[in-house]
Chain A
């Protein structure tokens, strides 16, 4: 399997007035197509910095980062934008949808910035299909403030997939959701992963991490452990086992 992500001695140092801050101190890592990886770690462990570099939002100070065979560490700002546009799909903790903009238009947004534009009709069709896929096609014309947190996150997932990325990056995707909705969202990730999409998820909850296939724990800017999940949670099964909610 071709590696989607290949890191070699990746380092990130922030210049500071007192002494330089070493956020990431030599990370080497390979993630192949079809993996579902959870990155864990306390705050200050360097996982956010690593996430930003993997998401092409930031460049490493040294070391190499190959994303789908492309060396990212030396690319320009515009080239990084283009990579984010068609190689990576982002899902954030606070959803980050455009306010006062319909779900459909939010999903269409990444297509507007494609270097090879699609016709407006084609865009609409693709966005609609993506919304159907995450089970929210009926609410395509709703704006974010008319949607629940779980629904907003579904819209965000639809948006992240719209340009057929090689990597789905999720930063604490269930951080703002209740437990049932969290499992539903993790179920979507598991389903997408089963279809062959590579997923990398940052979380600090071990329960959430257990829905992935591989857990990487960071500490002090280095990888402390890297293990396969022995007893993986299945979202569909967990949902069935949840006590039936009684609405008061």
Chain B
């Protein structure tokens, strides 16, 4: 029998029982929609994280005080106090290909202006910081190297902090804010960046020269972190290698000793940040796949009923010369048509669900071709797999028995 004729016959058989066909395909419809939407949600979360990490600058790398293997994450990077300002100067002076270097000190502090109070994050950085993080200004501008040298009492604040204390971003410019009773003049308001991938509001911050932060506010001598940006076109790996040997030499550590600092490149940070969401995506996709299998069992069930109901039809077809393989194909194509139609409707439903989710929640849904192809192929496979047993049952019927069937 021609394949075209087979599909025609299958369509007619399915249209004969519209409601039943729809209910049978529903399992596949929901399964496919679930796989695509779930993986879409997972991908959306992953993409969000990647975008945020990329906003840090893909040519950036961070040097943390303390060893990754000795202190580990429990001690926390940067708590060991092994990095000094001289290390930062040496990197800027001696390593070729380095574009910007900034030591970073940070702390949480209460700031006030008039009778307004706000508890925020304090960052002490060099002038390079803003170009390294590619952070623009809504109002005013950054402090300069001169301000750092003189430990000037100037500050740049984030949008959230500005709004909390002064009502609007515009109001904040030029005002004086007291950080632990030291007055700082606000010379710039940062453009909003939104939440970081750790869920922190990046705009809830106040940034001052690291010299001012260390001497006037925090009173520390060591720095937990140095952020470095590499010139465009220069190898990040090469710079990492050179910084490593420079710091080992400066810290007088022989080659066989564990380094007392850790370097993380942007790429590594991205990998770490996306690993979790990747696991989540896989898990969601897997759970949704189970519903596809359940849908397949639904198809098998209905096909078995259909074969029994149509025993006489099978008998007639066999009597007038259909081979077993013709009958097998007929029922197999019916099952596959059912599951493929279910798959197509499921894809449509997934896009609808994605649109609804994005309309009613801030969650980004990012639908890619992968899960669509995967779930469509999977639904076809489910049709073949679960349609095969009923189809074989139909094909192996005895024509005499089948013709006699009432």
Contact = CB atoms under 8 A, between A and B. Distances in A.
B321 A85 contact: yes
Interface in A72-108: 77-78, 81-86, 90, 92, 96-100
Interface in B278-318: 312-313, 315-318
A86 B403 CA distance: 19
Contact of B1 (A100, A112, A163): A112
B324 A96 contact: no
A159 B317 CA distance: 12
Given A78-B325, A84-B321, A58 B1 contact: no
B16 A100 contact: yes
A96 B316 contact: yes
A98 B316 contact: yes
A3 interface: no
Nearest to B9: A112
Given A100-B16, A117-B2, A82 B321 contact: yes
Given A96-B312, A98-B313, A100-B16, A113 B400 contact: no
Contacts of A42: none
A110 B403 contact: no
B323 interface: yes
A52 interface: yes
A110 B324 contact: no
Given A86-B321, A96-B403, A159-B320, A113 B1 contact: yes
B5 interface: yes
A113 B316 contact: no
Contact of A113 (B16, B313, B323, B399): B323
B55 interface: no
Interface string B102-122: 000000000000000000000
Given A77-B324, A100-B16, A90 B319 contact: yes
A83 B399 CA distance: 14
A109 interface: yes
A57 interface: yes
A85 B320 CA distance: 5
Interface string B309-347: 000110111111111111000000000000000000000
B400 A109 contact: no
Given A52-B400, A57-B400, A58-B400, A113 B319 contact: no
Contacts of A90: 319-320
B2 to A, nearest CB: 6
Given A112-B1, A113-B1, A57 B319 contact: yes
Nearest to A78: B323
Contacts of B312: 96
Contacts of A109: 316-317, 320
A167 to B, nearest CB: 13
A80 B322 CA distance: 10
Given A100-B16, A112-B1, A81 B316 contact: no
A78 B323 CA distance: 5
B387 to A, nearest CB: 20
Interface residues of B, number: 21
A130 B97 CA distance: 89
B181 to A, nearest CB: 91
Contacts of A85: 320-322
Interface string A36-80: 000000000000000010010110000000000000000001100
Contact of B320 (A52, A58, A84, A100): A84
A114 B326 CA distance: 11
B400 A81 contact: no
A82 B1 contact: no
Interface string B46-73: 0000000000000000000000000000
Interface in A143-195: 159, 163
B323 A82 contact: yes
Nearest to B1: A112
Interface in B354-383: none
A84 B319 contact: yes
B2 A113 contact: no
A63 to B, nearest CB: 19
A82 B323 CA distance: 7
Contacts of A57: 319, 399-400
A117 B312 CA distance: 25
Given A57-B399, A92-B403, A117-B2, A110 B316 contact: no
A98 B399 CA distance: 15
B189 to A, nearest CB: 75
A81 B403 contact: no
A110 B320 contact: yes
Contacts of A83: 321
A92 B315 CA distance: 12
A120 B323 CA distance: 20
Contacts of B2: 112, 117
A43 to B, nearest CB: 14
A179 to B, nearest CB: 26
A156 to B, nearest CB: 10
Nearest to B318: A81
Interface string B1-34: 1100100000000001000000000000000000
A113 B316 CA distance: 12
Given A85-B321, A112-B5, A113-B1, 8 more contacts: A55-B319, A81-B324, A81-B326, A84-B321, A96-B319, A110-B320, A113-B321, A113-B322
19 contacts: A55-B319, A57-B400, A58-B400, A83-B321, A84-B319, A84-B321, A85-B322, A90-B319, A96-B316, A98-B316, A109-B316, A110-B320, A110-B321, A113-B317, A113-B321, A113-B323, A114-B321, A117-B2, A163-B321
